[in-house]
């Protein structure tokens, strides 16, 4: 029987895009392996999704950011402040360690200023240690970002557009289990080269209908920064994960492409099983791969 400490557990807290959607919050993924717990990205609503999934807000003191689009880090400031409250729902016991591309130091400095009014009140009330509301910045480049307790997280530079450099995908390894998350990227050979051998490969996708482009010409800007269904099919065909999943579905209004059409275009390139990720899904990688929707028992923990 596989011991719990041998499993790699991933909770997809948020799978959405910048468009506000009550069912798909900003990108955020909790990684658990042994006694290690790391949050990758911290988009809109992360604090709410952590609570729904049964995590305390102090469940981890480590956050890794893939890039600096708002839907990947706008929830950071909520997490930074709210998790310092010394109550069972929060209870972070120290500062927040934030790993990011160039610019992470600016986020740390700005966050200290922005959280000042809340911090001053709570310190005056003897409610918190002010240092628990501090971000400790860690600058990273392509390669190993985190390596502790057998959990290794490797940053893979991807192509999210000319003005969004660098941007990263991640390969997560633990006791022979492998999880890969593309984050935001166009079709990218570097990601393909480093995504082989994945048990689970989660990839973003973007598509728009002719009617959407006609009604909203600016939709092309967004679509051009992402991978099309055909692109994603080619990526999966070349990497052959045990399980392929779609996330961050950029299917723009006013005439969004039906998900069936997206799947059909992927199927032209890839003949394997493809699932669509949803907020609060739990993926467990052990002797097999289990995907547990939130409403089918992912909570309580």
Given a contact cutoff of 8 angstroms between Cβ atoms, the answer to whether 9 and 290 are in contact is no
Structural domains of the chain in order of their starting residue, each with its CATH number: 4-293 (3.60.15.10)
User: What are the tens digits of pLDDT across the range 20-67?
Assistant: 999 999 999 999 999 999 999 999 999 999 999 999 999 999 999 999
134-174 pLDDT per residue, tens:
999 999 999 999 999 999 999 999 999 888 899 999 999 99
Residue 1: pLDDT band by 50, 70, 90 thresholds?
very low
Residue 62: C-alpha distances to residues 29, 121, 143, 151, 260 (Å): 12, 25, 17, 13, 37
pLDDT tens digits along 214-228: 998 888 888 888 999
Residue 301 has pLDDT above 70, yes or no: no
Whether the predicted pLDDT of 241 surpasses 90 = yes
- Position 4 scores a pLDDT of 74
CB atoms within 10 A of CB 119: 22
Q: What is the pLDDT of residues 63-119, one digit of tens each?
A: 999 999 999 999 999 999 999 999 999 999 999 999 999 999 999 999 999 999 999
pLDDT of residue 108: 98
Q: Tell me the β-bridge partners of 205.
A: 249
**Using an 8 Å Cβ cutoff, are 80 and 111 in contact?**
yes
Which element (helix H / strand E) includes 193?
A: helix 189-194
299: pLDDT confidence band, cut at 50, 70 and 90? low
Given a cut of 90, whether residue 291 has pLDDT beyond it is: yes
Q: What average pLDDT does the structure give for the chain? A: 95
Q: Over pLDDT 70: what percentage of the chain?
A: 97
Q: List the beta strands (DSSP E) in the chain.
A: 8-14, 28-33, 36-40, 62-64, 96-100, 135-139, 143-148, 151-158, 167-174, 177-181, 200-207, 243-251, 274-276, 281-285, 289-292
Mean pLDDT computed over 4-32: 95
Q: What is the pTM assigned to this prediction?
A: 0.94
Is-contact 279 16, C-beta < 8 A? yes
CA gap 102, 84 in Å, rounded: 26
Q: What pLDDT, on a 0 to 100 scale, did the predictor assign at position 35? A: 96
Contact between 8 and 285 under an 8 Å Cβ cutoff? The reply is: yes
pLDDT digit string, tens, across residues 125-140:
999 999 999 999 999 9
Sheet with 177-181, edge to edge strand ranges = 143-148, 151-158, 167-174, 177-181, 200-207, 243-251, 274-276
Helix, strand, coil % (nearest 5) of the chain? 30, 30, 45
What pLDDT does residue 223 have? 86
């Amino acid at each position: 029987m596989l011991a719990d400490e041998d499993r790699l557990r991933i909770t997809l807290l948020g799978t959405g895009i910048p468009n506000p959607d009550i069912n798909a919050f900003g990108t955020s993924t909790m990684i658990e392996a042994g006694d290690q717990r790391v949050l990758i990205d911290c988009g809109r609503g992360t604090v709410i999704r952590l609570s729904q999934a049964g995590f305390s807000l102090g469940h981890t003191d480590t956050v890794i950011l893939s890039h600096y689009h708002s839907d990947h880090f706008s929830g950071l400031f909520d997490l930074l402040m709210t998790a310092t409250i010394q109550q069972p729902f929060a209870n972070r016991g120290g500062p927040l360690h934030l790993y990011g591309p160039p610019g992470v130091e600016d986020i740390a400095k700005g966050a200290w200023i922005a959280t000042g009014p809340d911090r001053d009140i709570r310190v005056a009330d003897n409610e918190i240690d002010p240092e628990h509301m501090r971000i400790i910045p860690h600058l990273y480049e392509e390669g190993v970002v985190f390596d502790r307790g057998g959990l290794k997280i490797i940053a893979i530079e991807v192509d999210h557009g000319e003005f969004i450099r660098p941007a990263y995908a991640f390969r997560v390894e633990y006791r022979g289990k492998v999880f890969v998350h593309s984050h935001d990227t166009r079709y990218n050979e570097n990601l393909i080269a480093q995504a082989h051998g994945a048990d689970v490969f989660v990839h973003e996708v973007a598509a728009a209908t002719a009617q959407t482009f006609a009604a909203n010409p600016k939709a092309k800007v967004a679509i051009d920064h992402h991978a099309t269904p055909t692109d994603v099919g080619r990526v999966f065909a070349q990497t052959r994960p045990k399980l392929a999943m779609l996330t961050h579905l950029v299917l723009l209004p006013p005439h969004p492409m039906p998900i069936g059409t997206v799947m059909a275009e992927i199927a032209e390139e890839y003949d394997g099983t493809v699932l669509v990720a949803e907020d609060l899904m739990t993926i467990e990688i052990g002797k097999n791969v289990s995907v547990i929707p939130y409403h089918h028992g992912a909570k309580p923990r």
